[in-house]
């Protein structure tokens, strides 16, 4: 067996073959990884050193086979009959999610939502580091939020090129979001975390994650509604 480390996924190679790189991992699997990561952090912090897929399945309320299938996409993380080493699994999933790197972020739109995001300290602990904010309101220029300066929007492009920015966080009205996002396509940013109420589509070199909190509320509303209908039927 030859050992090495894949430069893209940072997992160990088996016979110099990277199982992660060879396979196209579905977005559904990727979407489940943060949840595994959260649960494993709590398990690790509570002193749990080893966990079986059955036990993890009970805690997370997903089937053990789903867990094994998900992990098998990455070559599996456990030994038959031994279960998973919690700390190892937590760290490996963190590497797959790129959480062993610091990501510099800038905020565009230093209003209510933007300020709340910048002030949420846990992002920094996970390696998501806000370094500057931008706005079009001159009254905000020179002020700071959560220790970072607010600058004029006109300085955004030069700033991201000069400061190794990975992620731009957009918390501006939807009327301006597309234009600002497109102005960033000729920079070196890697992703946009978009909160404006518009689904952005950009060249493949820029990853976009559109976040719509209201979608989650609407789902909740549907479930409340469905629950009350089934209670009415039961009575
Ligand atoms: P806000 O009015 O408090 O803040 C918006 C800020 O963006 C202001 O400081 C304004 O000067 C600035 N701005 C406007 N146009 C700009 C531009 N072109 N470039 C840079 N800065 C610009 O609004 P709030 O409550 O912070 O919401 C921000 C946006 O996020 C809104 O469009 C809102 O609809 C959206 N939103 C989205 C949510 C989601 O789940 N996706 C949840 C809450 C708000």
pLDDT for 90-142, tens place per residue? 999 999 999 999 999 999 999 999 999 999 988 998 999 999 999 999 999 99
Helices within 7-52 (DSSP H only): 19-22, 27-45
From 114, 193, 196, 195, select the one nearest 150 (Cα to Cα).
114
| 1 falls within a domain | no
CATH number of the domain at 198, please: 3.40.50.720
Measured CA distances, 181 to 3, 15, 40, 108, 189 (Å): 41, 42, 35, 10, 11
Measured CA distances, 79 to 50, 202, 211, 221 (Å): 11, 42, 37, 43
Measured CA distances, 17 to 3, 9, 14, 88 (Å): 9, 12, 5, 20
Which of the pair, 228 or 66, is modelled with greater confidence?
Answer: 66
Beta bridge partners of 5: 12
CA of 171 to the centre of ligand 1 (A): 4
- 51-55: which pairs have CB atoms within 8 A and are 24 or more residues apart? 51/83, 51/84, 51/86, 51/89, 52/83, 52/84, 53/78, 53/83, 53/84, 55/83
How many independent structural domains does the chain possess? 2
Same domain, 81 and 109: no
Task: Determine the structural domain holding residue 44 and report its residue range.
Answer: 7-96
| 45 falls within a domain | yes
Same domain, 130 and 200: yes
Choosing from 46, 71, 96, the residue where a domain stops is: 96
Choosing from 33, 65, 96, the residue where a domain stops is: 96
Beta bridge partners of 106: 132, 168
| Local confidence band at 3 (pLDDT 50, 70, 90 cut-offs) | very low
Same domain, 92 and 147: no
Instruction: Tell me which of 106, 110, 111 to substitute to probe ligand 1's pocket, judged by most ligand atoms within 8 Å of the beta carbon.
Output: 111
| 230 falls within a domain | no
Same domain, 120 and 68: no
Which atom of ligand 1 lies nearest, measured to the CA of 215? 40
Pocket residues: Cβ below 6 A from ligand 1:
108-114, 134-137, 153, 171-174, 176, 180, 195-197, 211-214
Which atom of ligand 1 lies nearest, measured to the CA of 210? 41
- Residue 174: per-residue pLDDT: 96
| 222 falls within a domain | no
| Local confidence band at 23 (pLDDT 50, 70, 90 cut-offs) | low
Same domain, 131 and 202: yes
Same domain, 169 and 200: yes
Mean pLDDT along residues 194-220: 95
- What is the token pair recorded at 4? 């090495």
Same domain, 151 and 195: yes
Same domain, 42 and 65: yes
Mean pLDDT of the chain: 89
pLDDT digits (tens, 9 = 90+) for 87-104: 999 999 999 999 999 999
How far is it, in rounded angstroms, from Cα 2 to Cα 17?
Answer: 9
How far is it, in rounded angstroms, from Cα 17 to Cα 6?
Answer: 8
How far is it, in rounded angstroms, from Cα 149 to Cα 140?
Answer: 9
Same domain, 75 and 163: no
On whether the CB atoms of residues 75 and 20 are closer than 8 A, the answer is yes
How far is it, in rounded angstroms, from Cα 93 to Cα 100?
Answer: 10
Same domain, 211 and 107: yes
CA of 217 to the centre of ligand 1 (A): 19
How far is it, in rounded angstroms, from Cα 215 to Cα 36?
Answer: 22
């Amino acid at each position: 067996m030859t050992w090495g480390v894949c430069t893209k996924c940072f997992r160990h190679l088996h016979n110099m073959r990277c199982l992660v790189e060879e396979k196209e991992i579905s977005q559904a699997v990727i979407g489940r990884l943060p949840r595994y990561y959260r649960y494993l952090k709590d398990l690790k912090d509570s002193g749990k050193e080893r966990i079986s897929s059955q036990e993890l399945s009970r805690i997370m309320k997903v089937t053990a086979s789903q867990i094994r299938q998900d992990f098998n996409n990455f070559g599996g993380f456990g030994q038959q009959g031994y279960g998973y080493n919690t700390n190892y699994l937590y760290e490996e999933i963190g590497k797959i999610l790129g959480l062993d790197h610091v990501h510099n972020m800038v905020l565009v739109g230093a209003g209510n939502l933007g300020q709340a995001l910048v002030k949420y300290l846990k992002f920094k602990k996970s390696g998501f580091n806000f370094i500057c904010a931008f706005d079009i309101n001159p009254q905000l220029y020179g002020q700071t939020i959560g220790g970072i300066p607010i600058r004029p929007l006109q300085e955004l492009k030069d700033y991201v090129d000069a400061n190794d920015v990975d992620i731009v966080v957009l918390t501006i009205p939807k009327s301006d979001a597309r234009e600002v996002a497109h102005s960033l396509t000729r920079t070196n940013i890697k992703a946009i975390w978009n909160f404006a109420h518009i689904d952005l589509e950009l060249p493949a070199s820029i990853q976009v994650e559109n976040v719509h909190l209201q979608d989650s509320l609407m789902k909740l509303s549907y479930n409340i509604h469905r629950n009350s209908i089934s209670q009415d039927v039961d009575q």
